[in-house]
Each structure stands twice: as C-alpha cells, then as structure tokens.
Structure 1
Amino acid sequence: MNLTHCSKGTIALLCVAGLLAFAGTASAFTISAEGVPSDAAVGDEVTVTYTIDDPFTDTSNEWTLQGQTQLQDVSWTVTVLRAGSQVSQATYGGQNFSQALDIDNNGDQVTVELTGTTPEVENYTYQPEEQFRVASLTRVSGNNEEEFQNDTAHHYTADSREARQAIDDAQAAIDAAGGNSEAEQLLDSAVSSYENGNFQNAIDLAEQSQNTAQQAQQSQQTTQTLLLAGGALVVLLLLGGGGYYLYTQTQGDDYSKL
C-alpha cells in the first residue's frame, strides 16, 4: 500500500518536472545583434548581423520583415535557415528592404547582414551627441506594425571629435574648480562654435576655458594654503605667548619668594 502511494507520488512529481522542463525550453521569438557600433567615424564601413530565432512563435504565420538604415552604400543580405541549413537567401540594395515570410515555406531562423558606410553629420549637437540610425527592423502583419529592433550610434569627423574632447576637458576642469563664471562663459561659446561646425574656434575657446578654470583652481588652492599657514602661525604665536606668560609668572613667583 505504501509502495503504491509512493509510486503514484513519484510519477506525479516526474510529470510536473517534465512539464516545467518543457515550458522552460519552449521556443520564443528572439532577436540578437552582432557588430553594432557605439560610435563610428564618417565614411567608416559598418557591418552588423541580426539573428531572428523562431520567427513565427507568438506571432502571425505570415508577416513581412522590413528594415531601414541611414548608412550609405547599403547592402542587406537576408538568409532563411531551417535546422541550420539554408532555405533561401536574398540581397537588397538601398536604405530600406522588405521581405515576406511564411511559416509554410520559411525556416526557424532568419539572419540579416547589413553593410554600409557611416553617413555625414547633418546637424552637429554637443548634447545630446549626434546620432544616426544603424538599423531598425519591423514586423508587419496586416495593419499591425511592430518595431522590434532599433540601433543608433554616434557619428563624428576627426575635427568634431577633437573639438568635443576639448570641450569635455574644459568641463572637467570647471567641475574640478567648483565652477567659474568666466570659464563657463568661454565654454558656452565653445559649444556654440561646435554646433555651428567651427571646430577650430571651438577648440581654442575650450582651451581658454580650461586654462581659466585651472588658474582659478590654483588660485583657490594657494589661498587655502596661505590661510592654513596663517592659521598655523597664529596657533604657534598663541602657544608661544601662553608659554612666555607662564614663564614670566613663574619667574615672578620665584622672585617674590626670595
């Protein structure tokens, strides 16, 4: 009797464990990306690969994959695989592409390889920094559109990067000095020049701002040092005066005793 109850209990536990294991390994629509840059120089080549696993899980059996990018000289390569074997492959040019997917004749994985060059900066902004769209991917089913991936990156030229670094250095110097109105005004002018594309002027103003902030910090440190030295001198004088007073008092007492 006990063995029967034990066996039934064991079987029930095994069934629950099996269901949990199945639920834990159930497939789901997922997207991963490789090669997405955080920043890129204008004209640099960028190659990004997106992998969509289980493209028909938790969604329609028929949908359209669309891609967009701001990269230049673009090439998209869309590969459909089933169990690791290639089912189909298509190549698209231009900054947009669209490909229909169907569960009946498509696989269980889709890869999208995008190659292009970093675009020019149309509008320079110091904060927030200039961004361009590396790629966005959208799932379209009927009238429903869902953007499930959107990657952006900072783009720059050699001159704009140098100017931005100079401004960053000036801001750090101002922060270290605890703020300085003259340095801050120079920094504001540097940022304005940066956003107008006048990078050499931005660098010159930022360096002036940094120097002004550093001089202010040194002046503060010198003042603090002098104040500390003066305080120490006062303490020494007080100690010396107190000691002399005690000495004279002692000497006066000794003389009166005599």
Structure 2
Amino acid sequence: MNSNHSSKLLALLLACTLVVSAVGPAAAMSASASGAPGEAEVGSDVSTTFTITKPFSDYDSWTLNGTTELTGVTWTVELYDQGGAKIDQKSYDGQSFDHDLEKSDAYEVKVQIEGTVPEVENFTYDPAQSLSLAELNQVREGGSSEAIDSWDFRPYTEESDDARSAIENAEESIEDAEDSGAGVSEAQSNYEDAISAFDGENFGLATDLATKAQDKAESSQQSNQQTQMLLYGGAGLLALVVVVGGFLWYRNQQDDYDKLR
C-alpha cells in the first residue's frame, strides 16, 4: 500500500469519525410537568399535565404506568405527532393506570391528572409531610420497570399552614437574635415545644408557642441592642469627659504659667 493511498484512507476514517461525533447520540426520552403544585390544601382539586418527549427513543413498544396518592383520580393519555396534532386519546380512572404504547409517528405523550388532595394521616414539621402527585414508569415486555420521573407536593390544612408559618417566623427571629449576640434560650425552648406540638397535630398550641418564641427572641434582641447603645453612650460620655478634663487641665496649666511670668 503506497503512502498516498494510506493518506487517503486515513483522511476518510477521520472524516467518518467527525461525522459520527457531529451527529452524536440520539436524544433520550424525558418528561416535564406543567402546573405541578409544590403544596396543596387538603380537599382541594389538583390538575397537572405531564409531557413525555421521544417516547420510542429506546423501545418500539412498552407500557406507560402511572400512580398517584390523589383520590378521585382521572388520567387522560394523549398522543401527538411532531407537528403537534393529536393522534390518539384515552382516559382512565383510579390511582394507577397502564397504557400500552406502540411505535408510531407519536412524538409526544401527554398525561393529564385530575384529582383531590386526601386527608393526611401524619403531619410532621421536619421533614414536612409529602404526598405523591404522580409517578410515571416505563414497563417493558417481561415486567421490568424503570421510573421516568416523579413529582411530590406538600399537603396542608389552614391550621397546619398557620402553625408552620408561625414556626418559620420564630426560627427566623431566633436566628436574627443570635446573630446580634442576644440570649435566646427561652425562645429556643418555646420554639422546640412548638415543633413538638405541630408533630402531635395540635396546631393551635403550636402557633401560640411559636408566637411566644418569636416575641421572646425579638424582645431579647431589642434589649441587647438597648444595652449596647447604653454601653456605647457611656463610652462616648467617658471619652467626652476625658477630652474636656484634659482641655481644662491644659488651660489651667497655661494660666499658672502666665502668672509666674
């Protein structure tokens, strides 16, 4: 093989490598949510739409599975082509569903969920209670399953939300007081009791204790600031006395010197 032929072959291989690199791997399936709440009140209705793009990037056929902890649920599965036109739709009731997908010209799969936030069995402050809004899974032939994505939210009642807000405000006030050098032991004690009351679902008591913690922290901070102002004022007065005294002493020395002359 002459050198000229070898050079052409090398150039061809390099060009092929560059083409492959430019094309890169095919885009994988992904999911996103529109209108997914981070928190929702118990008893309220929730509606969210999930969009799955490139559903057949890995497999020609598979089953879309969805689960939720909402109640009174209706799922609506819609298939769209690359131009955005709807090509299929089907609805399911219940906290889970399975929808078989076959490779077609479907570019997107949209899943809409509508349901109601259920009662919460156990409220906790930290970590905050959490419920599953939706979990979407890819189930393949043979039963193997892989999660596509999942979304959670924090359920609350009016009373629990008021208590949580009061505790958060108390925590912020305690931190501010600590940063200023004020003592916060009493406030901290009320704050911890408020969290215990919250975990026991005694939200009225939790709110009262948290409010006391905030008041004590703010009072301690104000008292500390006043003490510091008094100290600064006393130091300033002392400095003034020293300056004035020094000046009077200097004047007195000058008067004595003039008399001797």
Instruction: Specify if TM > 0.5.
Output: yes
Confirm or deny that 1:90 pairs with 2:94.
no
Q: Deviation at 1:24?
A: 7.2
In the alignment, which residue of structure 1 is the partner of 2:50? 50
1:92-145 deviation digits (Å, cap 9, x = unpaired): 111111112121x57332111110011222211111222111001001113432
Q: Is the 8 A contact 1:186 1:205 kept in 2?
A: yes
Say which SS state the counterpart of residue 69 (structure 2) adopts: coil
Say which SS state the counterpart of residue 108 (structure 1) adopts: strand
Q: Is the 8 A contact 1:80 1:106 kept in 2?
A: no
Q: 2:231 aligns with which of 227, 230, 243?
A: 227
Say which SS state the counterpart of residue 114 (structure 1) adopts: strand
Runs of 4+ in 1 over 2 A off after TM superposition: 18-28, 80-88, 105-109
Say which SS state the counterpart of residue 106 (structure 2) adopts: coil
Q: Deviation at 1:184?
A: 0.3
Q: Deviation at 1:19?
A: 5.0
Cα separation, 2, equivalents of 1:21 and 1:35: 37
In the alignment, which residue of structure 2 is the partner of 1:135? 134
Aligned residues: 241
One-letter code aligned to 1:242: G
In the alignment, which residue of structure 2 is the partner of 1:4? none
CA 1:180–1:64: 2 relative to 1, 3 Å:
same
One-letter code aligned to 1:122: E
Q: Is the 8 A contact 2:30 2:148 kept in 1?
A: no
Cα separation, 2, equivalents of 1:248 and 1:50: 90
In the alignment, which residue of structure 2 is the partner of 1:6? none
In the alignment, which residue of structure 1 is the partner of 2:210? 206
- Stretches of structure 2 that go unaligned for 5 or more consecutive residues are 1-11
Cα separation, 1, equivalents of 2:19 and 2:238: 82
Q: Is the 8 A contact 2:29 2:55 kept in 1?
A: yes
In the alignment, which residue of structure 2 is the partner of 1:243? 247
In the alignment, which residue of structure 2 is the partner of 1:111? 110
In the alignment, which residue of structure 2 is the partner of 1:99? 99
Q: Deviation at 1:61?
A: 1.4
Cα separation, 2, equivalents of 1:238 and 1:255: 26
In the alignment, which residue of structure 2 is the partner of 1:252? 256
1:134-192 deviation digits (Å, cap 9, x = unpaired): 00100111343211111011110001111111111111111111150110000111111
Q: 1:195 aligns with which of 186, 195, 199?
A: 199
One-letter code aligned to 1:38: G
In the alignment, which residue of structure 1 is the partner of 2:67? 68
Cα separation, 2, equivalents of 1:143 and 1:28: 21
Q: Deviation at 1:200?
A: 0.8
